[in-house]
Amino acid sequence: MAKTAQQGDHAAGDNVRVIAITSGKGGVGKTHIAANLAYVLSKMKKKVLVLDADVGLANIDIILGLTPEYNLHHVLSGEKTISEVVVPGPGGIKILPSASGIQEMANLSKGQKLTLLDEMNSMNEDMDFMLIDTAAGIAGNVMYFNMAAKEIIVVVSPEPTSLTDAYALIKVLYNAYDEKRFMVLVNMVKDSDEAGEVYRKLSNATEHFLNVSVEYLGHILHDECVRKAVVQQKALVEIYPYSPVSKCLFTVAKKLCREEPESYEGGSMKFFWKAIVDKDRG
């Protein structure tokens, strides 16, 4: 049974919920969801930090129309601290931007992860949620960020390749890293019936072949306003607050806030970074 988020009052940031938003393939709207879900949570009085963990091909700052002067590459090189790199985003959210087009960022070394750990230990950001926009696929960095997070949201679309790649991602995380809990968010559907069918196909596959149950988090409707928001480089919920997509995002955000896993182990963000470093041990 899940417990409500209100049980056991704590200071914001002392028990930050670290949630990875991931996918088996690109093009399913993962980054768009991460940015707008953060915006919605902020409107619900939550303090949110978004980490662009698509290191090497970062783009969350682009879709929000931000032009950060510095990013994680400057932190890893010792030029800047994380606090100097974090930038304000729409609705009061905070963004920790990554680097785009830098090959060395594609596979972070243990030394680089230790640098991030030291930096995060010295960072004094009070947060309720830390959303991690991972890269797509099953590369090393994707696995690290997913396993360091306490919760994982797998974004999937109705495309057959999205389903097969989402299954492959879950399979690797389960077989290689013993991850057993996944939330599924179905994006770009025409209605709730289509979303339910997509979820059932993925759920049946994971239960039959992996003996893993996946939780249905919700769905996001396909809408032309998504493309318009991307073109305008604005958060969709900010410029189209009453759109069907915005309503879907609020429903998902409310579900996340209403319940948190019984096994959830709270901790400040430094524990997230420590978990990443620990994956290199042994």
pLDDT in tens, 181-198: 999 999 999 999 999 999
Ordered domains of the chain (ranges, CATH): 14-278 (3.40.50.300)
Give Cα 156 to chain centroid, integer Å. 13
For residue 167, pLDDT over 90 is answered with yes
Strand partners, 156: 186
- The predicted model gives 103-111 an average pLDDT of 68
Task: Work out the pLDDT band at 64, boundaries 50, 70, 90.
Answer: very high
Average pLDDT over residues 253-275: 67
Return the percentage of the chain with pLDDT > 70, whole number: 80
Find the mean pLDDT for residues 59-71. 91
Mean pLDDT of the chain: 84
From the list 246, 213, 57, the residue with the least C-alpha distance to 134 is: 57
Mean pLDDT of 118-125: 66
- The number of C-alpha atoms within 13 Å of 188 and in the hemisphere containing its C-beta is 15
Q: Using CA of residue 29, residue 30, residue 34, residue 35, what is the dihedral sign?
A: negative
Alpha helices in the chain (DSSP H): 30-43, 60-63, 72-76, 82-85, 110-121, 140-148, 160-177, 192-205, 224-232, 236-239, 244-258, 269-278
Of 3-12, 13-22, 62-71, 152-161, give the lowest mean pLDDT range. 3-12
Contact 242, 254 (CB under 8 A): no
Q: Which of 71, 75, 76, 74 has the alpha carbon at shortest distance from 60?
A: 71
| Spatial distance between the Cα atoms of 168 and 251, rounded to a whole number of angstroms | 28
pLDDT of residue 3: 39
CA-based nearest residue to 99, from 128, 162, 43, 141: 141
Please say if the pLDDT value at position 45 is more than 70.
yes
pLDDT given for residue 106 in this prediction: 60
Beta bridge partners of 154: 22, 184
174 confidence band (pLDDT: 50, 70, 90): very high
Measured distance CA(38)–CA(47) in Å, rounded:
9
Give the whole-angstrom CA distance, residue 245 versus residue 229: 11
Q: What is the pTM of this model?
A: 0.87
**pLDDT value of position 5:** 39
Give the residue, 72 or 167, on which the prediction is more confident: 167
Place of tokens 């992996």: 210
From CA 169, how far away is CA 138, in angstroms rounded?
6
pLDDT classification of 232: cutoffs 50, 70, 90: very high
